[in-house]
Structure 1
Amino acid sequence: MANGFTDEDDALLAELGVEVETKKHVSRTPREERIIAGFEEIQRFVDEHGRRPQHGEDRDIFERLYAVRLDRISESNECRDLIEPMDRQGLLSGAALAATDDTDELDDDALLDALGIAVEAPAITELKHVRSTAEKKAAEEIANRDRCEDFARFKPLFEQVQKELDTGLREARKFELKSEIAPGRFFIVGGQKAYVAEMGEVKLTDQGRTDARLRVIFDNGTESNMLMRSLQRALNADGDAGRRISEPHAGPLFSDRTIDGDEASGTIYVLRSKSDHPLVAENRDLVHKIGVTNMSVEKRIAGAHLQPTFLMANVEIVATYELYNINRTRLENLIHRIFEPARLDIEIMDRFGRPFVPKEWFLVPLFAINDAVEKIKDGTIASYAYDPAQAQFIRRSGGA
């Protein structure tokens, strides 16, 4: 049927007193479809960033395009009449009506022209071909690199950063602000890691904006003496591929007390099982479950004897660590990867007689778990690997 329901569905809904409304197909002109599609792109931007697109040379090319497009739509009576029914975010509310209904300027090429941006391809759908003069200059600065003569002193830094990315101590996040560019920071631009080794004196440009000369080292052994704004533009031009690499200490991971502004994230808990399974009973002081929860641990373990993840037995809490300002899931995955060599190999039956292989139990002494927590706290965990034969952490070859 036209409404997507079968006759039986309609009958059932009618018995429930639900009126089935058949939607009418609305025919739109190509121009109207183009205007709606353009507005939907603006809506997706607002959904993702939580704000209206803004003007400014320091803004991403897409955001600037959306900002101009929204202005054009707001200024056109015809566009407002078309768009207002779908304006769920109130983007048109309070905007002044213009005295024109001319929508020709809604063409993306015309919008880019209004921004002073040259179109190098016949279709705006290929925005990767659309670059301003400033963006071209930034790309040239990125491309024009010299061999880094003292790369040997930087290579270990790149290796350490990669280890910390692999273990979750660092994250590659979308680049957003120029203020993120500072000495000692790492970025991903043009598919390569970049390290800001030095920053010269910060000066004002003719346009009244701050800028500074940088020494940027790349992980392929080259370097560039480029401007801060050039690096910013190159990162923005990369779109989602332009990333900044977070610091290993974005906030306190564990704390005995909160600091003003800290947000509680949850608790790491270490449990010991009371199961009578032979493997568990013979190694009771070594068999531990390590998990993370955002509820009280007592509530988390309620009814443990009915849950296969708790080995169908009651448990006792042997240690807890409070978390602040950290992603619980990523931290739990990190801890489990650290102790992967000591994961307990056991299969039990749930209360329905079905086999189950728990993943969060490890043959590891409590002191080693404490050691892991301390190494995560001080940021050195990436330099170590857990050796179950020695029940201790061993420094990796080449570790800092």
Structure 2
Amino acid sequence: MAKGFTDEDDALLEELGVEVEGKKESSRTPREERVIAGFEEIQRFVEQHGRTPQHGEDRDIFERLYAVRLDRLRELPDCRAVIKPLDRLGLVASAEPAADSAPDELSDDELLAQLGVDTAEPADITELRHVRSAAEKRAAEEVANRQTCDDFDIFRPLFEQVQKELSSGLRQTRRFERKSEIVPGRFYILGGQKAYVATMEQPATNEHGNIDARLRVIFDNGTESNLLMRSLQKALQQDPAGRRIVEPSAGPLFSDQNEDGDEASGIVYVLRSQSDHPALATHRDVLHKIGVTGGDVARRIANARLDPTFLMADVEVVATYELFNINRARLENLIHRIFGLARLDVEIKDRFGMPIIPREWFLVPLFVIDEAVERIRDGTITGYVYDPKSARLIRGAKQQS
């Protein structure tokens, strides 16, 4: 008779065609029940994904847990005996035991601890909190492992200049997002300190198939760290205040056409003087005026021969770049700062005889201006100035404000 039912109940159930056998007591121990339940989870994973669970720090935490658990089940003879009749996928019968055998069964908490996961709260693996993989722990240790920067005097002026540009609004900071890149020559904010990526070794593919590279990172407190690019990326992403320091002009400023929602802000123009003055004509090929206007360039230069800003002569437009959503004054200041060492030092008298010193003419080849524009566009202009002696952009030279 079924437990909890009377004879009349049994008779009624039999008439209805319902079996009334008593519940069979399980002959398995609690440990065997746990082994079977854990193995069934592994089989469900295999059926869902079409493969056995794999090890690896880039794998989902539960897949890694199943992989370790499957290794342990294969290693322990008593566990293999329990699950063999249930091994419909041949996961145990078709695999050799792992080399690093364990003498005893590991609990979920012990498995997670082996994987580098903190399970202080709670114990239920379906409600994991504060999970840190071994890779994340190594990344944190790598960032924290700093030493004194012996040649910090070389980098100090760069940090001072960056701070000035942040204070003046010439530079901005933006949240370091997952899609953000680590680029040598750029500045970041990590743990409340400015970090400068001084060098990057040749990128290579690591054991997980990801591109990585060793960096030399200088911090504004006079320390440095040799860490991996992906370690710095993770640290910046996990830091609530992690930022990247960019120029106001970083991003798609120059384009043949604007994207939806962009508002036109103006034109960067490059002019060449048609003056026949001997001092100007001699350097005609490298003497350029670089300016920014919110109006029409042709209208801007219509009366150039009457304007000392244009050296009291007609000019030729040699290059223009349309820009969107940008502060024109700040961009112009940035360009003039880059080429400050090559500014033309000349005094021109206007039509009334008043002396004027133009500020937008520079002795710079056009190809260098093009390079500067491209670097402003992609945000790699940081730390560059024009060197008149070598006629090229260089990094780390003393910059003018």
TM-score category (smaller protein): 0.3 to 0.5
Q: Larger radius of gyration, structure 1 or 2?
A: 2
Give the TM-score of the pair, scaled to structure 1. Answer: 0.43
Give the TM-score of the pair, scaled to structure 2. Answer: 0.43
